[in-house]
Amino acid sequence: MEKKTVFSGIQPSGELHLGNYYGAIQNWVRLQDRFDCVYCIVDYHAVTGRTGRESDKFQDPRHESLATMSVQMAGDLMACGIDPRRSILFVQSHVPEHTELAWVFSCVASHGDLTRMIQFKDKADRSDYVSVGLFIYPVLQAADILLYRAAKVPVGEDQVQHLELARRIGRRFNTLVGEEYFPEVEAELTAGKRIMSLADPAHKMSKSLGDKHYVGLMEEPDAIWKKVRSAVTDSGEQVGGEMSPGVANLFEILRLTGAVDDVVDGFKAQHAAGKIRYGDLKTAVQDHIMRVLDPIRERRSRMSDDEIRDTLAAGAARASEIAKATMAGVRARVGVGPPPR
RNA sequence: AGGCCAGUAGCUCCAAUUGGUAGAGCGCCGGACUCCAAAUCCGGGGGUUGGGGGUUCGAAUCCCUCCUGGCCUGCCA
């Protein structure tokens, strides 16, 4: 029996961090065993964050180009265990059918639905310039997914609304053409606790919060140690009380990075007894983070940009095959394209 | 399409005595204190005043123009 297709995308937004790794990427790696996976570096999505301000000009030298960042991202993903021989790894803009299908979908999607997207409302409120692209973002996302007739899309909580829209768009397209052209997409909610910011454990780890809030996968050990050492804890005075969010986060990182039960239990017992030394806990956390990151950094350092570019070209070729077929079917059903003889 | 108002540090600003050295709070960076942090204290960096042009010895301030946002009116007759 044929394996189902999984699609997922990530913006080439620079360096991956621990939150990305345990929130998404590690899951991507595992899914490769059970599904045909299509992993896409969505550079056109990243363009929505690059308009408006003077500092966001496309050619501004203060920004790396998205092309450069896409290559970096691909390298990082492979270092994390995305295997381009098993999965299709490519860059969105290398397969133009994404934007082509997005146009068709923008004629299928409901304006009202789009105005209800909380992520749009959120970002629009915080921007001084709101492009149509930002508004249409979920439509392009729907195109990304359905272009490969994906059955499953691993998403975080914040993306379920967009995925629901993709389902609606697919269904409506099917209704319009009178056949089940696009399969029903299923969200695969990525479970598990999220890693929180080190400096502000009330928020999920994110680069946008600031430098000291996240641990980059490719960062130097001493840079990481500086961040781990300065992570928020508590005054440690309530014996046996609730664990503070910052401390709980450190325990979570310890667990995720594969600390053996003895180590975790030992610290837990000390914490319960009110005798824990957070300095020691942090040393252990650092130690385990580096155990995970060292081999990743090592693999990454052995890759050349040329090698990555070749891999992405091959990935784009494989993706194109599927995308072209889907798009040909769409054109035929919409009634555009070269006339049939 | 026209009219009116607005844009000052990463963020928030009725700071800038009305043409004379660009400020505050928060955040950020460094230090002290902490087992590590937080809080607190001490210190520090940071802005082509939305962009461009002009007037002037001198412009955040006056003029022109463009950009972005908001409000009002019109257009489609």
The answer to ipTM > 0.95 is no
Residue A165 burial by Cβ neighbours in a 10 Å radius (0-12, 13-18, 19+):
buried
* CA dihedral of A278, A283, A289, A292, whole degrees rounded to 10: -140
Q: Which nucleotides of B are covered by protein (CB under 7 A)?
A: 27-29, 35-38, 50-51, 68-69
Dist. CA A308–CA A69, nearest whole Å: 12
List the end-to-end C-alpha distance of chain A, in Å, as a whole number. 36
Position A52 pLDDT exceeds 60: no
Average pLDDT over residues A93-100: 98
Dist. CA A110–CA A105, nearest whole Å: 9
Say whether domain A5-194+305-334 belongs to CATH 3.50.50.60.
no
State phi, psi for A335 to the nearest 5 degrees. 90, 30
Strand B within 7 A of A274 CB: no
Handedness of CA A134, A139, A141, A144 (dihedral sign): negative
3-state secondary structure of A237: coil
Q: How far is the CA of A13 from the C1' of B29 (A)?
A: 24
Of the CA atoms within 13 Å of residue A326, those in its CB half-sphere come to 26
Closest protein CA to C1' of nucleotide B69, residue: A128
pTM of the predicted structure, to 2 decimals: 0.90
Q: How far is the CA of A164 from the C1' of B31 (A)?
A: 52
Q: How many CB atoms lie within 10 A of CB A261?
A: 9
Strand B within 7 A of A10 CB: no
pLDDT attached to residue A53: 46
Q: Among candidates A158, A129, A161, A157, which has minimal Cα distance to A142? A: A161
Strand B within 7 A of A280 CB: yes
Average pLDDT over residues A62-71: 81
Position A17 pLDDT exceeds 50: yes
Q: How far is the CA of A57 from the C1' of B57 (A)?
A: 37
Out of 1.10.3720.10, 1.20.120.420, 1.20.1250.20, 1.10.240.10, the CATH code matching A207-299 is: 1.10.240.10
DSSP A201: T
**Helices assigned H by DSSP within chain A:** 18-20, 26-31, 43-47, 66-80, 97-106, 111-115, 118-126, 132-147, 160-177, 221-229, 245-256, 261-272, 278-301, 305-334
Strand B within 7 A of A303 CB: no
Position A159 pLDDT exceeds 50: yes
pLDDT attached to residue A190: 79
Nearest nt to the A232 alpha carbon by C1': B37
The predicted-structure confidence for A228-245, as pLDDT tens digits, reads as follows 999 999 876 666 567 889
Average pLDDT over residues A27-38: 96
The answer to whether A204 is a known catalytic residue is yes
Nearest nt to the A52 alpha carbon by C1': B68
Average pLDDT over residues A17-26: 94
3-state secondary structure of A181: coil
pLDDT attached to residue A166: 96
Domain ranges of chain A: 5-194+305-334, 207-299
